[in-house]
Chain A
Amino acid sequence: MAPNKRHHPRTGGLGMRNDPAILSDSDLLTWRHWSAPLGWFAALGMLLVAMPHLGSLFAALDPEAREPIYRRDAFVDLLANHLLLVAGASSIAILSGVSAAIMVTRPWGRDFLPLVSQLASIGQTFPPVAVLALAVPWLGFGGLPTVVALVLYGLLPVVRNTLVGIGEVDPATREAARGMGMSPRQVLWQLELPLAAPVILAGIRTSVTVGIATAAIGSTIGAKTLGDPIIAGIINGNTAYILQGAILIGVLALSIDSVFARLLPSRR
């Protein structure tokens, strides 16, 4: 839900560069390494199954509510739709963001570098809610304007971090690679992208986190997401609905974020 926030190598400041470039493959393939995300996803699954049966608990929390459990849509459907929106928008944003950043760092596209990097940093100051609201006059209500707003907004951290990541590659290293006879394409795939990968991944993490939060607000413009119970609860003054939606969105965000936390090298 925030421009320029955490995981940002330049503003976070905790010396991303001193960390090991990336985790080794053997680390990534152990069960233990993935225990935290697995735990979060298990919790999410259990909540989904248990939520419809917790009527008496929510009735105790909010005795005035006529119907303690949100039933307009199944929570599973809302979650699936929420994830679908974020996944679709994020894949478009990541693909086009990384390619755009690669293009403007090639010799033939370098003319556009100042423009694109300025645009990415100015755009990140735009609040996601405003971007979401401005997509409506153009595309109407529903899922489509939400996806477009998510793509537009999700692009920026990806572009910016890819530019930073590629920019941080030591020119001497690049020269050396070229001197060893690597083609420009090989330099990109075997040198620049692997070295920039942690920073790019941090950008993707920001992009996806903001996406999950913005998609939740998308339910105000007619997208079917886990924000629906919250909005319905606010309108009807039903605290139980608000809690159900809020808990599920919170656990969803923490589950996805824990996956990224495991993919990125730790900050120690």
Chain B
Amino acid sequence: MSQPHSASPNRVLLALMPVALAALGWLDIASVQPNRIVPGQGMNLWAIMGPAGVLLALLPLAVGGLAWRATTLRMRWALCLVVLAMLALPFGLAAFCRAFIDPDAPYARVGLAAGFWVLLFVFMLALIEFKASLRLPRGSWWGLGALMLGAWSLSLASGALDKLALMQEYLGRSDKFSEALVYHSLLVTSAVGLSLVMGFALALAMRRWPLLERGINGVLSLIQTIPSLALFGLLLAPLAWLADRYEWLSALGVQGIGAAPALIALVGYSLLPMTRNTFVALGDVDTGIIESARGMGMSPSQIFLQVRLPLALPVMIEGVRITSIQAIGLAAVAALIGAGGLGTFVFQGLGQAAMDLVLLGALPIIAMAVIVDGLLTALAGALRQGVRHD
């Protein structure tokens, strides 16, 4: 068991550290590529650091040793080691770039190899385990996250990592990247905003006319079942036809290819989780509370706005969370039908077999989803706590 005060071994860390050790020992950590397309020469720890690399291998051994008798104190030390390693990662990469890239070769670049990703993954898993077994205050995890973000942005901003293949792709199209980032977020925000308003209206309608509930639920789950690529395709034809037919529609920017079908499809997919969560949230409020509000002489609209809505808010935010994460991923697919956004880089990269371009699109999409997930979960938690204390 992961009890913080027992001195039994932490088996999770004991299982993870050999994986880290194996990645350090056998897998290529990074590679040196002469240009964009050529795969490049992979290098493992020994090739990079020589005998000094053995010192690095001591790190997982030390964490494993500390985890052998996992008292709270020893686990805290192990956590410190893992955090230090993760903070050192960007600086280590910067040192690698300086040592192995010839400054006179303009197209040479550093690729990240399997070993790097495995190490990163193992360290993340270790952090999750620390989070579960060491009950540190919530703020300290936010602090650690900020620290790591700081280390990465510092080394990225200083230009020390410019020779990283990912950065080379970025530097070649930094304008387009920020444009795509803004556009992606705009697409997601407007889809979530629209579906929030529409979902709220639908949920209210379902509360007023219970007969509607079945029909609305049926239609919305039907839309959700249709794969996104197909729905985009199905919208493309009628929209192109409409825009062809009516001048004013095409003047508004409606056309078969582009943002219009993407936005319609995103709203269509978002409506089910939004409507369902709002409906359930509004209905779940304790009738006793509503009764006592009525007894205090509140009018129906006051009861709705001051009692029912605030109490329903955490569950509604859960709906917003699911919808946003879903929309972030779907907006990436929408790039296929010319809607723009970060998915453009993914599909361009796949088309050109330039994997770092794929990464340039995929990593921010994942980061966006994870950050939105964390923020909205925290918001719902805070609101829930507020309700409990009042």
Contact = CB atoms under 8 A, between A and B. Distances in A.
A249 interface: yes
A5 B362 contact: no
Interface string B1-39: 110000000111001000000000000000000000000
Interface stretch (A8-16, A90-98, A177-185): A8-16
Interface stretch (B72-80, B154-162, B270-278): B270-278
B269 A2 contact: yes
Interface residues of B, number: 68
Given A243-B233, A246-B229, A254-B225, A134 B337 contact: no
B237 to A, nearest CB: 5
A129 interface: yes
A34 B274 CA distance: 30
A231 B337 CA distance: 9
Interface stretch (A24-32, A42-50, A209-217): A209-217
A127 B369 contact: yes
A239 B114 CA distance: 41
Interface in B357-386: 358-359, 361-362, 365-366, 369-370, 373
Contacts of B338: 234
Contacts of A126: 366, 369-370
Nearest to B373: A125
B222 interface: yes
Nearest to A248: B230
Interface in A194-241: 209, 212-213, 216-217, 220-221, 227, 230-231, 233-234, 239
A1 B114 CA distance: 27
B355 interface: yes
B338 to A, nearest CB: 8
A81 to B, nearest CB: 15
- 6 closest pairs, A vs B, by CB? A127-B329, A246-B233, A213-B227, A114-B132, A2-B326, A137-B355
A115 B240 contact: no
Given A130-B366, A234-B337, A250-B226, A11 B233 contact: no
Nearest to A245: B233
A119 interface: yes
Contacts of A134: 358-359, 362
A221 B333 CA distance: 13
B11 A111 contact: yes
23 contacts: A1-B227, A1-B330, A3-B326, A4-B325, A13-B276, A62-B237, A119-B128, A122-B370, A125-B366, A126-B366, A126-B369, A127-B328, A129-B333, A129-B362, A133-B349, A136-B355, A220-B347, A227-B229, A239-B256, A242-B233, A247-B230, A250-B231, A257-B225
Given A118-B128, A130-B332, A233-B233, A110 B326 contact: no
A239 B333 CA distance: 18
A250 B230 CA distance: 6
A98 to B, nearest CB: 21
B329 A130 contact: yes
Contact of B129 (A115, A216, A234, A247): A115
B225 A253 contact: yes
A220 B234 contact: no
B373 A115 contact: no
A6 interface: yes
Contacts of B225: 209, 253-254, 257
A130 B228 CA distance: 14
B237 A133 contact: no
Contacts of A227: 229
A246 to B, nearest CB: 3
Contacts of A4: 322, 325-326
A246 B329 CA distance: 19
